[in-house]
Amino acid sequence: MKTSFVVLVLLVLSVGIENEGGLKVVEGKVCEVKLYDFCDSDICFVDCPKSSPHENSFDFKFVGKMLELPFNMALRFPNLDLKCVPFGENLNPEVLGGLVTLVALGFTAAYIRYRTKHPKGCLDPQNFKEFKLIKKTQLSHNVARFRFALPTPSSVLGLPVGKNILARGRDSKGEEVMRSYTPITLDSDVGYFELVVKMYPNGKMSHHFRQMKEGDYLAVRGPKGRFTYVAGQARAFGMLAGGSGITPMFQLIRAILENPKDKTKLHLIYANVTVDDILLKEELDKFAENFPDRFEVYHVLNKPPPQWNGGIGYITKEMIQSHFPEPAQDIQILRCGPPAMNRAMATHLDALGYTQRMQFEF
């Protein structure tokens, strides 16, 4: 019986995706055909080669129709036309039918557990979806914080750490414009997501955000972006940010520091013109206070106030050398700022011995 059960599990895992299929005992042999077609946005079985059902793969991340599986297998089991493959000769059809249903129920339970821990996100990488602005907070004369509601209070945006979204709006001439933004929220923030946006006088998308009021909708699609973060992928990150380039850094900082299992160290050099231009300063300073052994922030201002303790002017090679870990295979340096700043930082990093493999530009 144990051998029969193991064989059955392997058969269920290897079943394909075509109409009218399943398992049955014919003349003492376990027979197999391709099973069932429900490959949609909630894919159950994926990438199943039609010519070779035993090479199929099973992906728990897309088991959307799993709740239907035990019932369909139980109902279809007795009356299928099959292509026979000899796996066993002494399996009782009634027992086998019960085992098929039992195994499918097990997969259903696993799917429910997976979806509870990993709720499906609201983003669509191909199509724009609209989200309602429920709160707009002016942080300075040209910076605002926008909170957008998700469909339900328990919904998550579904944005992996390191990725961004594409927002669509209209400029002052009414022409469509699109720009990429990184939310400062994570999927641990349920029911909403937030953007911190710096609005430039002649910015096309800046005009759209400047005109937005609570109750308006923003069209968004994603995730997008080349950077992917996996906990522990680096011993430490050096971060070079300028102006609104802090947002992808902030997303990563939050994800790392709010994960008690992630011991990655973070070193941030953040450049701005004046103190008022520093985005998320309160949050960054709080992280530095709460995680003194894991997070360091060094502010650099072009026009500092009197008695300023941070850097003055532009980020220099000496500042990087002083505040960042030395080049090593387990070190990664990230940069995000205006194009001129990014080029200057790349030159500094190359001169200090950080290889291209150690550098990433958002």
Task: Check the annotation: does 198 bind a ligand.
Answer: yes
Among 339, 343, 341, 320, residue whose Cα is nearest residue 331: 320
Task: Check the annotation: does 196 bind a ligand.
Answer: yes
Task: Check the annotation: does 179 bind a ligand.
Answer: yes
Rounded distance, CA 325 to CA 268, Å?
Answer: 11
Task: Check the annotation: does 120 bind a ligand.
Answer: no
- Strand 143-149's sheet: what is its strand order? 176-181, 164-170, 217-224, 129-140, 143-149, 192-198
Cβ contacts of 235 within 8 Å, gap of 6 or more? 264, 265, 325, 328, 330, 331
Contact at 8 Å (CB) between 197 and 209? yes
Among 10, 92, 103, residue whose Cα is nearest residue 56: 10
Write the burial class of residue 107 (CB in 10 Å: 0-12 exposed, 13-18 middle, 19+ buried). Answer: buried
Task: Check the annotation: does 239 bind a ligand.
Answer: no
Pair type for strands 295-301 and 311-312: parallel
Q: For the chain, what's the residue count?
A: 362
Pair type for strands 143-149 and 129-140: antiparallel
Our CA angle for 350, 356, 358, nearest 5°, is: 100
DSSP state, residue 183: -
Exposure b/e, 298-334, CB count within 10 A at least 16 = b: bbbbeebeeeeebbeeebeeebbeebbbeeeeebbbb
Between helix 246-257 and helix 281-290 the angle, nearest 10°, is: 30
Task: Check the annotation: does 135 bind a ligand.
Answer: no
Task: Check the annotation: does 347 bind a ligand.
Answer: no
Task: Check the annotation: does 181 bind a ligand.
Answer: yes
Can you say which residues are annotated as belonging to the binding site for FAD?
179, 181, 196, 198, 204-206, 247
Can you say which residues are annotated as belonging to the binding site?
179, 181, 196, 198, 204-206, 247
